[in-house]
Structure 1
Amino acid sequence: MAEAHQAVAFQFTITPEGIDLQLSYQALNQIYHSGVRSWKRRVSRMRNRVIKGVYPASPSSWLFVVIAILATLYMRSDPSMGLIDKIQQHLPLSSQGQTMLSALVFSTLLWLSLILALRFCLKLLLSYHQWMFEMHGPVSNTTKVWVTLLRLLSSRKPLLYSYQTSLPHLPVPTIKDTLSRYLQSVRPLLSDPAYKRMTELANGFESNLGNRLQRYLKLKALWATNYVSDWWEEYIYLRSRGPIMVNSNYYGMDFLFVTPTSVQAARAGNTITALLLYRRKVNREELKPSRVPGTVIPLCAAQYERMFNTTRTPGLETDVLQHWQDSEYVAVYHKGRFFRLWVYNAGRLLSPREIEHQIQRILDDPSPPLPGEERLGALTAGDRVPWHQMRKQYFSSGINKRSLDIIERAAFFVTLDDEEQGMKGDDPAGNLDRYAKSLLHGKCYDRWFDKSFSIVIYKNGKNGLNAEHSWADAPTIAHLWEFTLATDAFQLGYTDDEHCKGDVDRMLPHPRSCCGTSRLFVLGPKCQYKHNEKGNLADDVDCHVFPFREFGKGRVKKLRVSPDAFIQISLQLAYYRDRGGFCLTYEASMTRLFREGRTETVRSCSNETCAFVKALEGEQCRRLLRLASEGHQNLYRMAMTGAGIDRHLFCLYVVSKYLGVDSPFLKEVLSEPWRLSTSQTPIQQIELFDIKNHPDYISLGGGFGPVADDGYGVSYIIVGEDMINFHVSSKYSCKETDSHRFGAEIHKALQDIMALMSAEPKSAAPSRGPSQPKKQL
């Protein structure tokens, strides 16, 4: 770890002459400025609580109400219908003072009542989701009125969390509807006898145990803010005892064609600065609330709260997410050594040039790692129980505990990688694959997989990130990463010699260990022995990244087909050609239209999609593609509006475990493997630059490891109008999967479907989905 401050503000010793008190004025000065900054943040939070607490009204509206009431009283009219007189009787003041104070009390009560009424109206408006199911074309009068009222109530500029209390709660679907949709989703995957058996299991569950579990679930929905999210976080993520590296964590990449600077320290300086500027905006709630693209409909912002200063700590049965309110440093790893980089000095954020200067000092530091220090991060890459046991044995007290606290309390983790990554070179396709593997797992010990996210800065200036999944979903990290890349390239910028802009305070302390001159971590031989690479898991991952440039969403939209549905159907065709059949397919859909919403599953392998794939060479395939596209989009809409299948069944299963009862139906449903797991990475969430005018600054997106040992993980990002980037993962140990082979099948499937649809008359019926909201919303 590096140090910019002394560990304590003062030291004292007992001498024969008395107490010798040695004050560190530099440390006391830093403590003073840190305290001032902390109090400023508290005042800002209190101010924001007031502003968002009265939204959609404003604090100044109270004064308007008071003036209006006093004006009516001056005109000898009583708008309170006698309430002011009743309040006046209980006030021990003079007559004139009683009148004034009672009017103020009544005005305040009236103002609060109006706020509650406005918030209730806003919540009712946000509970309306029929707009999503209306086809492109004429909009119903109900939706037109709804849009007008929503725009009226959303006219004031909101803070990041202004809409939180107005978002509706996630509804609990009926057992009958969920089971019906489930059976429909598995029909193309099961033979007639297997489908009949599953139907009997579902009917038996509905008539017996299902209604009992449903009552408990509805009771939770009445009490909890979201009946899914807390159980999803705990049982899907935190209770998993396997490695989170590859299996849970995911990654995000740099620009595809552009590297703003080739100087590693400079790229680190701007990247760290941009991330800290984003954190400042989150703390001050200055970010605009995320919305459904092209609309005024807000999305839940709860996931932003734990973005920084957060780590996942291992436990025996379950992990715990720990979040601290603030941190004034980042943890840095370079060539086996851990450093603490202070990013504030005298209460101000260091300039990008100053951070670059400090990073360069770390890069130039020749000291070797201590025994066991180099591979310490491997503990976060392996199984959770051994990590918990090692933590309890070696990191529960003393210097090891203090050193581990420094890493875990950091704003985020930074790795200064000694490799070069990116597309350029003699083998651009292979370089992208290696780039993905490096971000997904690295050397298995040079990342801190427990941190909410870790930034990787490569030797040639490329960067990327690795994110822990339990605290938030990919769109939240994508929002952060898009801001970081855009701020780095277009706002902070670099000098002509590729260094960060700004001045350097040469008096900044040289980075070194945070425990004086000694290094961090005193590790025993047994602990050092455990720092082995999780090489089998990492080496088994087959990553393939490729940009598809033949066409993009622009050409697909001209066919009046949803781009997401087009890609999902292409994936089904590719899988059918690759494996000779269909499989249970997972597509992530958000439920952030609801408070504390996270994700729902879109089961993309539908009856309509399978019918199209089988009939691709027949006469009716174009019509079937449109049916499949509309069917997929309808599944997506239902998932977004709380009518999905899998989260409801998951929660019913959790209730059954609490009650100690077994359901053969739920047990079988929850054990079905997702051999094709897919996700779309959103883009242009922040309009910091125009991608049309800067076509080279396109993002590669990000990816994740395969969910099933014999399956594929596919992530894609629709970039601009003319490109789609794909990230495909599988496991070498499975002889039936091959990421490069599947990538080639995706490429061919996209081309074949486009060729088919381009030959169709343009008068065909339109198909539209939530990824392309109506402009009038």
Structure 2
Amino acid sequence: MAEAHQAVAFQFTITPEGIDLQLSYQALNQIYHSGVRSWKRRVSRMRNRVIKGVYPASPSSWLFVVIAILATLYMRSDPSMGLIDKIQQHLPLSLHVSLSSQGQTMLSALVFSTLLWLSLILALRFCLKLLLSYHQWMFEMHGPVSNTTKVWVTLLRLLSSRKPLLYSYQTSLPHLPVPTIKDTLSRYLQSVRPLLSDPAYKRMTELANGFESNLGNRLQRYLKLKALWATNYVSDWWEEYIYLRSRGPIMVNSNYYGMDFLFVTPTSVQAARAGNTITALLLYRRKVNREELKPSRVPGTVIPLCAAQYERMFNTTRTPGLETDVLQHWQDSEYVAVYHKGRFFRLWVYNAGRLLSPREIEHQIQRILDDPSPPLPGEERLGALTAGDRVPWHQMRKQYFSSGINKRSLDIIERAAFFVTLDDEEQGMKGDDPAGNLDRYAKSLLHGKCYDRWFDKSFSIVIYKNGKNGLNAEHSWADAPTIAHLWEFTLATDAFQLGYTDDEHCKGDVDRMLPHPRTNWKIPCQSLLQICTSLTVAQSLADDVDCHVFPFREFGKGRVKKLRVSPDAFIQISLQLAYYRDRGGFCLTYEASMTRLFREGRTETVRSCSNETCAFVKALEGGESAEQCRRLLRLASEGHQNLYRMAMTGAGIDRHLFCLYVVSKYLGVDSPFLKEVLSEPWRLSTSQTPIQQIELFDIKNHPDYISLGGGFGPVADDGYGVSYIIVGEDMINFHVSSKYSCKETDSHRFGAEIHKALQDIMALMSAEPKSAAPSRGPSQPKKQL
């Protein structure tokens, strides 16, 4: 065993002649290289702190300022207006004695230059923060651009001309503003109007007015006080109360998944696919650690997005607690945890200070696949503890995994860079039933066998027997766009950069003296009962999930854009039409929008079921004229885009109301209005998976390399979860989930309704006379801010 070899790296025996000390050269060599790598990483971080600390200036600009000041002094001009002389007068007495008058002047000029340089940096960063606080540009993306926005774009480009590091913009991003109570309540009442009858709406209006005039203003004052000192007044409470304090299973209810390419599997060799996938992930981690990734930006613009979520991507685990879980993050990890046929392994990915080649990782993975050793007692289904309820897992962890060999083995999993499952099944769109296989593929990634994933890890990679892969991500540390960015890089690097040999193996040489990665456990019989209980809870939850994945190929965003309609609005309106046909009415609809224009921003809710959208659906289903339906559709599209923009710029509804509710709980006061608002079920929960690095994929020359995107479980027991990804110009992939236990929902039926709704709306808009279609004209080109 690897642990046994490490345990005897240092041996000593006491003999009559003294102590006989025996050292393992291999262990010492590993310690040396690990220390060197750690120090290199520290130096790199210190260098990056300096570079991003002075951004948008550069460290070399200090020398320019010093030379300029000294040059003016040489020309007998004092640019400091007497400050250099004052600095010279206040130099320590020892310097007056040891330095000549000219030396004192030079030192004083150097101090003044440094202070001037720091002042200029603070001024530049303040200007950048002011520029990034301007959001009116978003409401001008598809219309005439004002002179103010033109000047703003020019200044922002000037201040962003230097190549930034990943976190260069962090301190310059504005803080999320707190909306006024009046505005939030007004927008809330408008959002629920189509869902309520006249008496119910009147009652809700009275509740809202009572809240505003009494308790609301008091809670708002506390919230504004928090916003003054907190980096983001929402994110910490959102992470704790929405995610970490949940005591139910995080499998299905919180975790989400991402899929492999739809049509292509780069290799059918499981170990080889694992080798390249693990290597690509570690190369991405290296870029994150060195801050070499380009900061994410709003597509088509130079506006940066918050990168805080990247910090906990690797070496992170959610550990269970009695009342709340804790996210634990380690600075580094030199191995990954691997699960195969009921056994856990520690796979070292560094040797002698270097990252193993893909071929060496493949070799180690193959050793795991060929390992004939059976699981230790209780080891096979240990992962079920992470799939069940959180409190029993906390109790088991505290009682049986807090010391000894079990703690060491648990630490191997929790401190790993990430978790890898070598699945013994085959998945993907294959065989005689491609549609059904995609559904099974989704369920496998979402929950697997309920014990062969470690759902607490920040993300887990699944490599299937036929070479297909995918991931399962824990939700509390970050949102889907962050993990999607990682997954895009991984798929592209695997297929187009690392590649495979002609016989489908990884490239590179192999050092066959690498250590064997098996781990040890001594799981007591008392914990086996809880493992079985957690597995039963998780299995019941998994069996109830109805997943349906389908690619929509009739058209994509290319044809939608020709209609002068937002692709996202087109899809969201289609979802409302599909739901109306499926359930005979409308429901509260959740669409995830980001707030990463602000520091530490996460998400906001776009309430997609709007008055305009409902008016269009009713008109279409009620047999109104095509011209009237088209007019209402365009109004619904513009209305939806406006809601999305407001959510992105901090004028959303739900996060503000959520934080007011948290404040009320801290103060020990009850609000009937807030209690009712936060108990409303989201029967239709939707999210778009963005493609952020399209330049990594050559869809024109390699059209088969199309990602399926990812999905999540239903939020409400009687509702649907819908995720979609717009791929290229001609395809949209959908992931629909619901629960079998609800007789009113059916994922396949709803998928068919989505398919039909998309076609019906396209047919309606395509029949519009060209002369009647609105056109931006030559004076309204597509903006590239």
Give the alignment's TM-score, normalised by structure 2.
0.94
1:252–1:466 Cα contact (<8 Å) kept: yes
1:561–1:766 Cα contact (<8 Å) kept: no
Report the counterpart of residue 8 of structure 1 in structure 2.
8
Matched residue of 1:616: which SS?
helix
Evaluate the alpha carbon distance shift between residue 455 and residue 139 of structure 1 in structure 2; reply closer, same or farther with a 3 A threshold: same
Evaluate the alpha carbon distance shift between residue 771 and residue 492 of structure 1 in structure 2; reply closer, same or farther with a 3 A threshold: farther
Measure how far apart 1:703 and its partner are.
0.1
Distance in 1 between the 2:338 and 2:133 partners?
Answer: 45
Measure how far apart 1:18 and its partner are.
2.9
Superposed CA deviations along residues 379-434 of structure 1, whole A, max 9, x for unmatched, are 00000000001111110111001110110000000000000000011100000000
Q: Which residues of structure 1 form unaligned runs of 5+? A: 512-526, 529-535
Q: Which residues of structure 2 form unaligned runs of 5+? A: 93-98, 518-524, 527-539
2:421–2:452 Cα contact (<8 Å) kept: yes
Distance in 2 between the 1:770 and 1:142 partners?
Answer: 21
Measure how far apart 1:371 and its partner are.
1.1
Measure how far apart 1:505 and its partner are.
1.1
Measure how far apart 1:767 and its partner are.
9.7
Measure how far apart 1:2 and its partner are.
6.0
Give the alignment's TM-score, normalised by structure 1.
0.95
Distance in 1 between the 2:461 and 2:2 partners?
Answer: 17
1:692–1:720 Cα contact (<8 Å) kept: no
Evaluate the alpha carbon distance shift between residue 765 and residue 94 of structure 1 in structure 2; reply closer, same or farther with a 3 A threshold: farther
Report the counterpart of residue 524 of structure 1 in structure 2.
none
Evaluate the alpha carbon distance shift between residue 307 and residue 290 of structure 1 in structure 2; reply closer, same or farther with a 3 A threshold: same
Number of equivalent positions: 755
Superposed CA deviations along residues 182-201 of structure 1, whole A, max 9, x for unmatched, are 00000000000000000000
Distance in 2 between the 1:9 and 1:63 partners?
Answer: 50
Superposed CA deviations along residues 263-321 of structure 1, whole A, max 9, x for unmatched, are 00000000000000000000000000000001000000000000000000000000000
1:255–1:698 Cα contact (<8 Å) kept: yes
Distance in 1 between the 2:279 and 2:781 partners?
Answer: 34
1:210 to 213, 216, 224: 216
Evaluate the alpha carbon distance shift between residue 165 and residue 7 of structure 1 in structure 2; reply closer, same or farther with a 3 A threshold: farther
Measure how far apart 1:17 and its partner are.
3.9
Matched residue of 1:615: which SS?
helix
Measure how far apart 1:20 and its partner are.
2.7
2:2–2:515 Cα contact (<8 Å) kept: no
1:448–1:454 Cα contact (<8 Å) kept: yes
Evaluate the alpha carbon distance shift between residue 686 and residue 90 of structure 1 in structure 2; reply closer, same or farther with a 3 A threshold: farther
Report the counterpart of residue 24 of structure 2 in structure 1.
24
Report which stretch shifted further, 617-626 or 467-476. Answer: 617-626
Measure how far apart 1:761 and its partner are.
2.6
Report the counterpart of residue 576 of structure 2 in structure 1.
572
Superposed CA deviations along residues 549-592 of structure 1, whole A, max 9, x for unmatched, are 00000000000000000000000000000000000000000000
2:551–2:732 Cα contact (<8 Å) kept: yes
1:647 to 646, 655, 678: 655
Report which stretch shifted further, 406-415 or 93-102. Answer: 93-102
Distance in 2 between the 1:324 and 1:611 partners?
Answer: 52
Correspondence 1:555 to 2:563: no
Measure how far apart 1:693 and its partner are.
2.2
Written as runs of structure 1 = structure 2, the 5 A alignment for 1:298-317 is 298-317=304-323
Evaluate the alpha carbon distance shift between residue 370 and residue 308 of structure 1 in structure 2; reply closer, same or farther with a 3 A threshold: same
2:591–2:687 Cα contact (<8 Å) kept: yes
Distance in 2 between the 1:272 and 1:771 partners?
Answer: 49
Distance in 1 between the 2:637 and 2:777 partners?
Answer: 9
2:142–2:783 Cα contact (<8 Å) kept: no
Matched residue of 1:687: which SS?
helix
Evaluate the alpha carbon distance shift between residue 770 and residue 712 of structure 1 in structure 2; reply closer, same or farther with a 3 A threshold: farther
Matched residue of 1:438: which SS?
helix
Measure how far apart 1:758 and its partner are.
0.5
Evaluate the alpha carbon distance shift between residue 148 and residue 109 of structure 1 in structure 2; reply closer, same or farther with a 3 A threshold: same
Superposed CA deviations along residues 99-133 of structure 1, whole A, max 9, x for unmatched, are 11011100000000000000000000000000111
Superposed CA deviations along residues 688-747 of structure 1, whole A, max 9, x for unmatched, are 232222211010000000000000000000000000000000000000000000000000
Evaluate the alpha carbon distance shift between residue 156 and residue 665 of structure 1 in structure 2; reply closer, same or farther with a 3 A threshold: same
2:713–2:738 Cα contact (<8 Å) kept: yes
Matched residue of 2:7: which SS?
coil
2:320–2:394 Cα contact (<8 Å) kept: yes
Superposed CA deviations along residues 588-617 of structure 1, whole A, max 9, x for unmatched, are 000000000000000000000000000005
Evaluate the alpha carbon distance shift between residue 675 and residue 81 of structure 1 in structure 2; reply closer, same or farther with a 3 A threshold: same
Superposed CA deviations along residues 467-520 of structure 1, whole A, max 9, x for unmatched, are 000000000000000000000000000000000001111222233xxxxxxxxx
Measure how far apart 1:94 and its partner are.
1.6
Evaluate the alpha carbon distance shift between residue 577 and residue 770 of structure 1 in structure 2; reply closer, same or farther with a 3 A threshold: farther
Measure how far apart 1:771 and its partner are.
21
1:309–1:327 Cα contact (<8 Å) kept: yes
Measure how far apart 1:5 and its partner are.
6.3
Distance in 1 between the 2:585 and 2:24 partners?
Answer: 71
Distance in 1 between the 2:185 and 2:716 partners?
Answer: 24
Matched residue of 1:376: which SS?
coil
Measure how far apart 1:686 and its partner are.
5.4
2:429–2:435 Cα contact (<8 Å) kept: yes
Matched residue of 2:591: which SS?
strand
1:233–1:471 Cα contact (<8 Å) kept: yes
Distance in 2 between the 1:94 and 1:537 partners?
Answer: 81
1:8–1:27 Cα contact (<8 Å) kept: no
Matched residue of 1:4: which SS?
helix
2:253–2:714 Cα contact (<8 Å) kept: yes
Distance in 1 between the 2:717 and 2:728 partners?
Answer: 33
Distance in 1 between the 2:559 and 2:273 partners?
Answer: 36
Measure how far apart 1:15 and its partner are.
3.8
Report the counterpart of residue 602 of structure 1 in structure 2.
606
1:4–1:508 Cα contact (<8 Å) kept: no
Report which stretch shifted further, 678-687 or 217-226. Answer: 678-687
Written as runs of structure 1 = structure 2, the 5 A alignment for 1:601-750 is 601-617=605-621, 618-619=623-624, 620-685=628-693, 687-750=695-758
Evaluate the alpha carbon distance shift between residue 542 and residue 331 of structure 1 in structure 2; reply closer, same or farther with a 3 A threshold: same
1:699–1:719 Cα contact (<8 Å) kept: yes
Measure how far apart 1:8 and its partner are.
6.0
1:217–1:652 Cα contact (<8 Å) kept: yes
Distance in 2 between the 1:658 and 1:297 partners?
Answer: 36
Distance in 1 between the 2:262 and 2:678 partners?
Answer: 38
1:72–1:78 Cα contact (<8 Å) kept: yes
Report which stretch shifted further, 756-765 or 42-51. Answer: 756-765
Superposed CA deviations along residues 52-87 of structure 1, whole A, max 9, x for unmatched, are 000000000000000000000000000000000111
Matched residue of 2:383: which SS?
helix
Matched residue of 2:770: which SS?
coil
2:341–2:424 Cα contact (<8 Å) kept: yes
Distance in 2 between the 1:768 and 1:246 partners?
Answer: 44
Report the counterpart of residue 59 of structure 1 in structure 2.
59
